[in-house]
Structure 1
Amino acid sequence: MNHTFGQVLTMAMAVVGGLGIFMLGMKYMSEGMQAVAGNSLRRMISMVTENRLLATGTGTTVTLLVQSSTISTVIMVGLVNAGLMKLHQAVGFIMGANIGTTITGWVLILQIGRYGLPILGVAALVYIFCKRDRLRFIAMAIMGLGMIFFGLELMKEGVEPLREMEQVRELIQRLAVDNYAGILLCIALGCLLTFIVQSSSAALAILIAAAATGLVPFPIAAAFILGENIGTTITVLIATLGANRNAKRAAYAHVLFNVIGVSWMLLAFPFFVLGVAGAVEWVHGVDPMTMDIADFENPAQYGLVITAAIAVMHTSFNITNTLLFLPFVRSFARLLERVVPEPRAKEVAHLKHLDAKTVDAPGLALEQSRGEVVQMGRGTVKMMDWIRQLAFNGPMDEQMVQKTMHREEVLDNIETEIVAFVTDVLDANLPHSVAEEGRVQLRMAHEYESISDALASVLKCFLKLRELKLELSAAHLRELRDLHDEVATFLGKVTDAYDHRKVFSHREAETISSDITRQVKDSRERYLQLMTDSQIDARLSMTYTTLLTNYRRIKEHTLNAHEAMAGTKAHHRD
């Protein structure tokens, strides 16, 4: 009894230790590959086009580099939540992410498990002693690869003794997939395993470790793979709690895509598995459906064949499912719009609910927070439009006044969230260029929040004039309106430049800023002269000069935002 307990404990330690090293290796490889890919990866995910094939290709590439469909899909949900990706684009991206996550199985076919430790050691030495950023992160990716194979080897060694236990063999025999009840049970177990380890790649590694030792036959492994495709959607679904309707639709797209795919696969399962087995037999000369590890002189050869069969099954299922869905991407998006209808009340985008997962992919996480900064800019531009309508184009609409004030509160909250989010991201191991992007976002979020405060103050000045029943002359109103338009144009130009990553020249920005400053000074001097020549209500004078000061503040913060994205030092002019 003690011997059995000790054996079980040894196996558990090997499996848990191997799984931990494997998952840490996935993390290091992902971070290294993201850092090496750099800005091109973030640009790629932000430039998903209307073309469904390109969206699918982007999803595949991003997931390949992030090494997790869960992380890439959560980031995609965040971009949809921020309004930077349309729903039908997200659907195409999700399909690609499901293909990208199958790469793990193909990597494990390399069968270099025994070399995992020396690969890890050499790469770790390069990572520690090398001073160049790019080489260090390449070494980190290779170090992660070594950890993946070393961890898989440990898991295989831990699982191997289970094959000799009678109780375990009987349990595996009960999981026969010769009927739909057995297939459904295996799918459920695969789903549960993926949800527990929170990674479809880690669940696949456990499955391959068990299959490579002869413990789990190929047909059962094939059914487990289907369950893993469903299990990986649960985390994304949880991530949308508190998200807006489009983010929920994107998450439901991920769930439905996989559930519908597994549903049709249930009907075709026997034929599909036989087809995969036939393809593997054609390449390796062995039928994975009937082979036994005892028939192999070299157990590693058995492991190679069954790992190849699992990889082919995983990839062929996801590619087939994607090909079936591709013609119906827009129809699928419209269906999701009916399933999750428009809300009665206006929603506010947040990113708190995505902190935990997106920080695992810091390079791409900054693309999401960048989207939130863009939305802050768009929010201030909208406030400028609403204030123009309220102050210069007609009577004060109470509903629009409340909407403008509410927008200022929303921008305050989003800035707080961006600061917390980006600070978490900057705690990760990042190359200099990515860290600098994070610092730029912090500066710009602060400037946009300050602009919203100044705009709220502008609106309060106009409300005060109405409350005191004071009116500015037509000439002064015209001057304020022209000033408002100049500042709004400058703000829109800076925001558009940041959104499209096309910074205009610092000289042009300084010229616009100087023109607005001169306009404010001229208006103030003319008003002071008017005060000298005639009697004007002191409250009216105070409010008018406060308006001019606020417009100048907005201009200064807009110039600071431009300098932040242009990489120049901000001027604290206020």
Structure 2
Amino acid sequence: MLFMLTGGLGIFLLGMKHMSDGMQAVAGNSLRSLIGAVTNHRILATTVGVIVTCIVQSSSITTVMVVGFVNSGVMALSQGVGVIMGANIGTTITGWILVLKVGKYGLPLLGISAFVFLFSKKDRWRYWAMFLMGTGMVFFGLELMKDACATIKEVPDFEAWFARFNADSYLGVLKCAAVGCILTTMVQSSSATLGITISLATQGVISYPTAAALVLGENVGTTITAFLASLGTTTQARRVAYFHVIFNLFGVFWITLIFHWYIDFVQSIVGGDAFEPAIVGGLETYPGVVPAIAATHSIFNIANTLLFLPLMTPMVRFLEWAVPGPAFKEKPRLTDLDVLILETPLLAIEQSRKEVLKMGDGCLKMMDWLVELMNSEEPDKSLADRLKQRERILDSVQDEIAEFITGLLSAGSVSHATAEEARRQLRIADEYESISDYIANLDKFDRKLRRDGTRFTASQRADLEQLNRRTKEYVDMVHEGLAKDNRNVLAATSAAAKRIRSEVKSLRRKHLNELSSGPMEPVVSVAFLAALNAYNRVRDHAQNIAETVAAEKTNS
């Protein structure tokens, strides 16, 4: 019995993971759009939480993801609170999936989808197969657990032990809820404990009221995942995790006060016939109790959410009062990346993409500052320090992006398309960091000349300013192509790249002619040629970005 129960639970959990991974891969773009649509509008945020959790098939993944977004500053506390409430409703979809009486088809569904997964060459087919394979494993695992629970009735000691947990009194309800909470905390999956509860109830080992009380406790137990994820994070992230605990604890508190009226209400909705026993394989079972348990789970979370929705603003204020923040602004990292988001690779790759785009914005800003510094009569130490600081920041940002993407690629369950996108982002981040280095070097050339008591000539400054403008326009076009994911960006910017190269060659010839026609300080000559080379390298790195976006290799 223990072997079958353990094996069934393991297959059930693995099935839930495959369902989640498959749906995330299939619905990747939709998932990104949904998270991007989260606003302070409480109903919209809650709706997004419901839909995302239905897609990823796990409230734990959604809540950990929300903690990660709030921790990194991508999502506000009020937005996170709304999504958390929606996640509690979305997780009840598992119960309704189990209502489908397809347990006996779980194994053939698993087998057929496994063949498609192994032999299909198209990623989309493979991810649909992964989802269906997970669905088959969920049903097959549930069938194994049901068979294991059926043997409990044949062992008097086991049956007597389960009989001690009976929700026939308020204390009994609390005891059952506590068991559900502890079991979910240990397994780290409310879906798994829901499967166990359904298996016990359908075999008649526990009554429907006991199963309902266990389900209430499972809602509290699932909060441990987000709570653990919030340890060591910012104050805002801890607040959203604490809200998850308060939301479920308060919900269980008020529903247990009216527990017997509540289960009577559910029974009236489901119908009394659902609780009539049926003889299957010579054993008395209660298959109709499954929709009742699913309804108990759903109605509880919907009612609790409706209760909390009008109280969202006061609740946010209470959390801000109860969990005071430090006097300084918390920013654990330079980027908005957080390892907690790695749970959902498609959202993680979107977050890293935003950080890469910010690097490009930083490079363009540095090019504007460079012209100001070069044309100022007196050295502008404040602006020069800002430019140097921006270059150092971009170095650190590249390191954080590389660390984040490496963690993403080592996760193991990343799709081929996501892995390719991750590798492209690594290269583009490296190219932007190199561009920032050359821009900082251009300022160093000018500062070194000023320290030596010389400067570029008026003609050279005018030439470099024009070259800077052309190069910035080119970098801007490439950056816009990256932002819009324009696969034609290489062809569209090819003429601009050639113009820059031609202009650099022309300025180099002009400079050599000036050297032969009159005297010039050697340091000025060296600095000017180095500046031309730096602009040429900026152009090369921008072209590398265009090549990466276009997914082409060219000989430049």
Q: TM-score, normalised by structure 1?
A: 0.81
Question: 1:157-185: per-residue Cα shift (whole Å, max 9, x none)?
Answer: 22333345555555545545567665555
Q: Which residue of 2 aligns with 1:197?
A: 187
What secondary structure, in the 3-state scheme, does the structure 2 residue paired with 1:472 have? coil
Q: Which residue of 2 aligns with 1:348?
A: 333
Alpha-carbon distance change, 456 to 151 in structure 1, aligned in 2, over 3 angstroms: farther
Q: Which residue of 1 aligns with 2:531?
A: 547
Aligned residue identity for 1:396: K
2: CA distance, partners of 1:28 / 1:174: 36
Q: Which residue of 1 aligns with 2:354?
A: 371
Please state how far the C-alpha of 1:487 moved relative to its aligned partner: 3.9
Q: Describe how 1:105-124 pairs up with structure 2 within 5 A.
A: 105-124=95-114
1: CA distance, partners of 2:362 / 2:320: 24
Q: For the Cα contact (< 8 Å) 1:46–1:367, is it kept in 2?
A: no
1: CA distance, partners of 2:440 / 2:283: 70
What secondary structure, in the 3-state scheme, does the structure 2 residue paired with 1:304 have? coil
Question: 1:495-542: per-residue Cα shift (whole Å, max 9, x none)?
Answer: 455445566744432233334434444444444444344433323332
Q: Describe how 1:4-403 pairs up with structure 2 within 5 A.
A: 11-48=1-38, 51-80=41-70, 84-163=74-153, 168=158, 171-172=161-162, 175-177=165-167, 183=173, 185-240=175-230, 245=234, 249-250=236-237, 252-271=239-258, 274-286=261-273, 296-297=278-279, 303-327=286-310, 339-341=324-326, 343-344=328-329, 347-349=332-334, 354=339, 358=342, 361-384=344-367, 395-397=380-382, 400=386, 403=389
Please state how far the C-alpha of 1:342 moved relative to its aligned partner: 6.6
Aligned residue identity for 1:194: T
Q: For the Cα contact (< 8 Å) 1:418–1:445, is it kept in 2?
A: no
Please point out which of 404, 413, 419 is paired with 2:399.
413
Aligned residue identity for 1:377: G
2:439 counterpart of 1:455 = yes
2:507 counterpart of 1:517 = no
Question: 1:62-100: per-residue Cα shift (whole Å, max 9, x none)?
Answer: 222221122233344445556554554443333332222
Aligned residue identity for 1:447: E
Aligned residue identity for 2:59: S
What secondary structure, in the 3-state scheme, does the structure 1 residue paired with 2:87 have? helix
Please state how far the C-alpha of 1:141 moved relative to its aligned partner: 1.9
1: CA distance, partners of 2:76 / 2:481: 21
2: CA distance, partners of 1:91 / 1:136: 35
Aligned residue identity for 1:144: G
What secondary structure, in the 3-state scheme, does the structure 2 residue paired with 1:471 have? coil
Question: 1:465-493: per-residue Cα shift (whole Å, max 9, x none)?
Answer: 45445433455445444544544454455
What RMSD over aligned residues (CA atoms) do the two structures have, in Å? 3.7
Alpha-carbon distance change, 269 to 84 in structure 1, aligned in 2, over 3 angstroms: same
Aligned residue identity for 1:407: I
Alpha-carbon distance change, 380 to 146 in structure 1, aligned in 2, over 3 angstroms: same
Of stretches 457-466 and 298-307 in structure 1, the one that deviates more from structure 2 is 298-307
1: CA distance, partners of 2:180 / 2:168: 17
Please state how far the C-alpha of 1:102 moved relative to its aligned partner: 1.3
2: CA distance, partners of 1:519 / 1:333: 58
Aligned residue identity for 2:246: V
Q: For the Cα contact (< 8 Å) 1:60–1:98, is it kept in 2?
A: yes
Percent identity of paired positions between Structure 1 and Structure 2:
39
Aligned residue identity for 2:139: F
Of stretches 406-415 and 80-89 in structure 1, the one that deviates more from structure 2 is 80-89
Q: For the Cα contact (< 8 Å) 1:48–1:58, is it kept in 2?
A: yes
Alpha-carbon distance change, 369 to 310 in structure 1, aligned in 2, over 3 angstroms: farther
2: CA distance, partners of 1:156 / 1:125: 27
1: CA distance, partners of 2:204 / 2:375: 78
Q: Which residue of 2 aligns with 1:4?
A: none
Aligned residue identity for 1:414: E
Alpha-carbon distance change, 412 to 363 in structure 1, aligned in 2, over 3 angstroms: closer
Q: For the Cα contact (< 8 Å) 2:15–2:133, is it kept in 1?
A: yes
Question: Gaps (5+ residues) in structure 1?
Answer: 1-10
Alpha-carbon distance change, 266 to 509 in structure 1, aligned in 2, over 3 angstroms: same
Question: 1:27-61: per-residue Cα shift (whole Å, max 9, x none)?
Answer: 22223333333534334434445654443333322
2: CA distance, partners of 1:464 / 1:232: 61
Please state how far the C-alpha of 1:205 moved relative to its aligned partner: 1.8
2: CA distance, partners of 1:273 / 1:369: 50
2: CA distance, partners of 1:498 / 1:79: 24
Q: For the Cα contact (< 8 Å) 1:71–1:358, is it kept in 2?
A: no
2: CA distance, partners of 1:162 / 1:483: 82
2: CA distance, partners of 1:61 / 1:301: 37
Alpha-carbon distance change, 346 to 68 in structure 1, aligned in 2, over 3 angstroms: closer
2: CA distance, partners of 1:296 / 1:22: 25
Of stretches 256-265 and 391-400 in structure 1, the one that deviates more from structure 2 is 391-400
Aligned residue identity for 1:278: F
1: CA distance, partners of 2:535 / 2:315: 47
Please state how far the C-alpha of 1:395 moved relative to its aligned partner: 1.4
Q: TM-score, normalised by structure 2?
A: 0.84
Q: Describe how 1:470-549 pairs up with structure 2 within 5 A.
A: 470-499=454-483, 501=485, 505-549=489-533
Q: For the Cα contact (< 8 Å) 1:82–1:375, is it kept in 2?
A: no
What secondary structure, in the 3-state scheme, does the structure 1 residue paired with 2:95 have? helix
Alpha-carbon distance change, 191 to 140 in structure 1, aligned in 2, over 3 angstroms: same
Aligned residue identity for 1:215: V
2: CA distance, partners of 1:232 / 1:332: 21
Please state how far the C-alpha of 1:240 moved relative to its aligned partner: 4.7
Please state how far the C-alpha of 1:19 moved relative to its aligned partner: 1.2
